[in-house]
Amino acid sequence: MSVNKLSVLHLNSRHIIRSILVGVGLIHILIALLMPNAGTEPLLGDRAGDRLEKLSMLHGAEGWDNFWRILFQNGAPGDYISFLPAYSLFGFEGIIIQNIIFLLIGTFFLFRLCLLFMPKSLAAFTTIVYNLLPAALFHPHVAVTEAICNPILIVATYYLVRIARDSDNDISAVVGFGLAVAVLCFTRYVYLLFPVVAVAIVFARSSTIRRSLINVLILVLLSYSLVVTWWTVTTINGDRFATGPALHGLQSNNHYRAKRMAARGGYGLPVHVEQRMRDSSANFGVMGTMEFVDFIRQHPVDFTATVISDALNLYGNSGVNTVFGRFFGLFDLNARGGGFTKWRDLRDKHGLTAMLRELWRTSPAGFVFNVVFFGFWFSFAIFAIYGLVLFLRKGHWRWAQKVAILSVPIYLSFFTFASGSVRWDHRSPFEFLICFMFAVAAVNVLVVRRAAQHLLIRHQPRS
């Protein structure tokens, strides 16, 4: 039986996505209107307060020289400058409006991505489920880069799959991918190597070397256009404006993880690392890659423990604490501000069981929410893993399409663990693919069920 015959919706695709977009927009308008305190709690988002401070300084800068001086002082401007136009026009409310628009763009392209693999009924189901996950409810209402990067990553993935489908690489797909990745690379440097995946697919799928080279050239030029522009500007103006450090770069993340290892093991960081932080004007430490590797070599058990702790948090944490606890205020874990590191540190030092015991003691309601939503999330994830197995085994799709889809979670998982503190919403960039795999499993279940029903009808005894 053809998968396309499984569609139970009699509306066309335009009507379906239009209804979904209206519904998603209304949900977030209601959240913004019914939660008047959401906009006054910028620290709910990771480093959101830091971004708002930079935006305020840029918005209030007198003259272009002061504007450029502030911009250079803070380093990595893509981390916050994408919010500047909306903030300048409407303040924090403008950021919320912009984030909702980005979410709607991501929702539209997620539906289109799913239509490349499944009937419109399941494409609609996948899109709706994605928008009901904690990250999709939370990120549009805080000043975090996930609100921009997550939807744009969906756009990039859609065009990447189109590149993989077309042996001659539709030029519109190459341009679409390049433009989307340009925003990703400028906003978060972790995406700088992501175009390599597309380059490999272009060479593998193009019919001629000449076409491959043309498409790769277009893709690379577009993907790195914003980053190269910024690097060129800093090089030209390096003598006029001092460039400040970038918070949460690789070296600062090395330092954060080393501090966690030291706290768990009860020892200090190397003396020269601590001295470097005392001598620095920045309020965060840095640790070189080779220094960090040497530190791991000295303390492999503590490093492994922090990685396991992060893995549990990344893949097992449903996100209920931040969204339903802090954001919606349905329970209180007594962990506002930086207090959420309490639970991470408990996991690091004493394990998951000790953390759950303390959670029950601190907030029974929070414990119940965590257990219930973990049950939902775990069941959802197991079914998605079943969908992943089917996706890899089934012959409906070309290998290049499978590579295009799987490259996203593999790439992000690998680079996420370089972070000093892996949070549940670090998983959110590829949660749309978890929903996608869930839908692939649903397709298979429906096909098998329909086939079984058909066999039962054919073999019913005649009266």
Give the three-class secondary structure for 5. helix
| pLDDT, position 7 | 45
- The answer to whether 217 and 174 are in contact (CB under 8 A) is no
- Identify whether the C-beta of residue 143 lies closer than 8 Å to the C-beta of residue 38: no
Q: Which residue has the higher pLDDT, 4 or 377?
A: 377
327-350 residue pLDDT tens: 777 877 765 444 557 777 777 777
Q: Are 366 and 324 in contact (CB under 8 A)?
A: no
**Which single residue is written with the structure tokens 């380059």?**
199
Residue 102 confidence (pLDDT) above 80: yes
Of 70-79, 185-194, 375-384, where does mean pLDDT reach its minimum?
70-79
DSSP 370-437: HHHHHHHHHHHHHHHHHHHHHHHH-SSS-HHHHHHHHHHHHHHHHHHTTSSS--GGGSGGGHHHHHHH
**pLDDT: is 430 or 67 the higher one?**
430
How far is 404 from 336, CA to CA, in rounded Å?
39
Residue-level pLDDT at 71: 80
Instruction: Give the model confidence (pLDDT) of 138-196 as tens digits.
Output: 899 888 889 999 999 999 999 999 999 876 668 899 999 999 999 999 998 889 999 99
**How do residues 310-326 score in pLDDT, each as one tens digit?**
888 888 888 888 888 87
Under the banding of pLDDT at 50, 70 and 90, the label for residue 417 is confident
Most confident of 69-83, 297-311, 386-400: 297-311
Domain boundaries, the chain: 3-243+370-456
User: What's the pLDDT score for residue 336?
Assistant: 47
412-450: burial string, b at 16+ Cβ within 10 Å, e else: bbebbbebbbbbbbbbbbbbbbbbbbbbbbbbbebeeee
What average pLDDT does the structure give for the chain?
Answer: 83
Q: Is pLDDT above 70 for 456?
A: no
CA 272 distance to own-chain centroid = 35
- CA torsion through residues 224, 226, 227, 233, sign: positive
Q: Which residue has the higher pLDDT, 395 or 25?
A: 25
pLDDT confidence of 409, banded at 50, 70, 90? very high
pLDDT above 90: percentage of residues in the chain: 37
Answer for the pair 325, 333: CB distance below 8 angstroms, yes or no. yes
Residue 2 reports pLDDT greater than 50: no
